[in-house]
C-alpha cells in the first residue's frame, strides 16, 4: 500500500524543514515510492505544489 495524501504532505514538510530555507529540487525517481502505481506521480506533484505554496 502506498502513502496517503496526509503522509505525503508530512514527508514533504519534513524535507522542506530539513532544507532550512536553502533551494531544493524534489525529484521523485523511485517507482517504489509510488507503490508501482504511476498515477501516484500526479498526486505527489499536486501535493508537493500545494504544500510548498
State which residues form the domain around 24. 5-52
Domain total of the chain: 1
Predicted TM-score (pTM) of the model is 0.74
pLDDT in tens, 1-53: 678 899 999 999 999 999 988 998 888 766 666 777 778 888 888 999 999 88
CA–CA separation, 46 and 52 (whole Å): 10
Query: d(Cα 24, Cα 20) in Å, to the nearest integer?
Result: 10
Residue 16 half-sphere exposure toward CB, CA atoms < 13 A: 12
CA distances from 53 to 2, 7, 38, 47 (A): 24, 17, 24, 10
Amino acid at each position: 500500500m502506498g502513502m496517503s495524501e496526509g503522509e505525503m504532505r508530512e514527508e514533504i514538510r519534513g524535507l522542506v524543514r530539513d532544507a532550512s530555507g536553502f533551494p531544493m529540487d524534489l525529484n521523485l525517481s523511485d517507482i517504489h515510492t509510488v507503490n508501482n502505481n504511476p498515477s501516484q506521480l500526479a498526486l505527489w506533484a499536486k501535493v508537493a505544489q500545494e504544500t510548498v505554496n
